[in-house]
Amino acid sequence: MHGADKTPPEQYDNVLSLLQNTLDSPHFFPQANQEAVPKNLNKEPPNKKIKTQRYVSTKKKTSQKASTTFRKPTQEECQSISSSLILTAKTKQGNRNFFIMSGDGKLQCYNRSCGQTFDPATNTEKSCLNHPGLPVFHDAYKIWSCCNKKTTDFTEFLNIKGCTHSYHSNVKAPEPEKPAVKDINQEVPKPLEQRVVLPRPDANEPLEHLPIIVGTSLKPMLEKMQTEITLVPDVVNDSVIQLNTPCQNKGCHEVYKGQYSNTETCLYHSGVPVFHEGMKYWSCCVKRTTDFNSFLEQVGCTTGLHKWHKDKNVENKVKCRYDWHQTGNNVIISVYSKCPLPDLSYVESNAVKLHIHITFGKDKEVFDEEIILFGIIDTSGSNVTYLGSKVEIKLKKAEAIAWKDLRLRDVLNINAMSIQNK
């Protein structure tokens, strides 16, 4: 549309005369076009800060056919009138709104993606090609909700042609309703509940055995081991040494061949095997290797006599790998020991101290560990599960807090070191 101009009243004579002759014609505005014509046309056109006057026609009551006449605007009215006049007249078809336009006489279409100007007199149901849907921006794609055309470039998105034909409209589409925003100031935050810290019990309180559960994966292994033990006859007299009895010293591969074997020199390792960062070695010597077979074939570094029997009443203590994790209510410790023996093992605890004693394997090796726990546990809700490859200890927390570590002393040592560094 052109901007507002100051048109004198005499130039409206021809327009009013034209309207006088065509007002009663039903073809001036087809019935279908009424939907495209805004009902409330007394409002100013979009983006035009001008006032639009409203003119109402009057009918002369005569014996002849009723006709409609218009009065001309006064000079004062022309001072504030725009290039587009809106007239409301009473006709046989009811009230009609008419646009009186100067210049090219076109209005701006506000249908999405149209952007054209149009003449209301020639506006049809196929005049406008637009998008009736809404723009959607998701995962870097720009999409119209009414069709499947999408792109990642915003300029290309603006240039996507419409998918629906309709009438042109100079009324802007209503903005989609935005979700109601909650007034944050009205929401009063709830006061934080002050947690009551339980007093830490004495670690020297009596220990109690935790209930045990034997897993299904361990039962067949125990039955097989029991069968193998019954097939091997017990040695009644320790002074009698069976032939081909292997030496019990670590690293020695000799077997008993007779009385002269007792006088032979035994080469063995007095230390323990160490496996660290791919290296395998004995703690008593400096020979290291990455191959396990080479490690087993290493000659001992200590000399002595052969030992044909294991020491009685002396447990074969070993170190086992174990780790732990926690949930909201429990702490779970896993001790990796193949084929544990429930009859020879036990786990006992009080509220803050845990004692683990696990016997496992054919050689009845023993893992024994005592742990001062970081937090407080409920022994009545704790238990021990013996599985084929590990022992799982579930400790129920007495209070639902996160443990920084399994051991309390580890945390105390870290805190002490940090204080010293300061």
Question: What confidence tier does 183 reach under pLDDT thresholds 50, 70, 90?
Answer: low
Percent of the chain with pLDDT over 90: 23
Residue 303 burial (10 A CB sphere; 0-12, 13-18, 19+)? exposed
Res 11: pLDDT: 45
Q: Of the segments 93-107, 240-254, 286-300, 349-363, which one has the largest average pLDDT value?
A: 349-363
Question: What confidence tier does 330 reach under pLDDT thresholds 50, 70, 90?
Answer: very high
Q: What is the pLDDT of residues 116-128, one digit of tens each?
A: 888 888 888 888 9
With 60 as the cut, is the pLDDT of residue 404 above it? yes
With 50 as the cut, is the pLDDT of residue 292 above it? yes
Res 68: pLDDT: 41
> 95-99, 166-170, 221-225, 271-275: which range is least confident on average?
95-99
293 against 22, higher pLDDT: 293
With 80 as the cut, is the pLDDT of residue 94 above it? no
pLDDT averaged over the chain? 74
- Give the Cα separation of 215 and 193 in Å (integer): 41
> 133-142, 185-194, 312-321: which range is least confident on average?
185-194
Res 104: pLDDT: 59
With 50 as the cut, is the pLDDT of residue 390 above it? yes
User: What is the pLDDT averaged over residues 261-289?
Assistant: 84
Residue 111 burial (10 A CB sphere; 0-12, 13-18, 19+)? buried
> 32-41, 160-169, 183-192: which range is least confident on average?
32-41
User: What is the pLDDT averaged over residues 280-304?
Assistant: 85
User: What is the pLDDT averaged over residues 58-84?
Assistant: 43
Bridge partners, residue 100, by sequence:
85
With 70 as the cut, is the pLDDT of residue 106 above it? yes
Res 47: pLDDT: 46
User: What is the pLDDT averaged over residues 386-395?
Assistant: 95
With 80 as the cut, is the pLDDT of residue 35 above it? no
With 90 as the cut, is the pLDDT of residue 30 above it? no
Question: What confidence tier does 64 reach under pLDDT thresholds 50, 70, 90?
Answer: very low
> 213-217, 288-292, 411-415: which range is least confident on average?
411-415
Res 279: pLDDT: 84
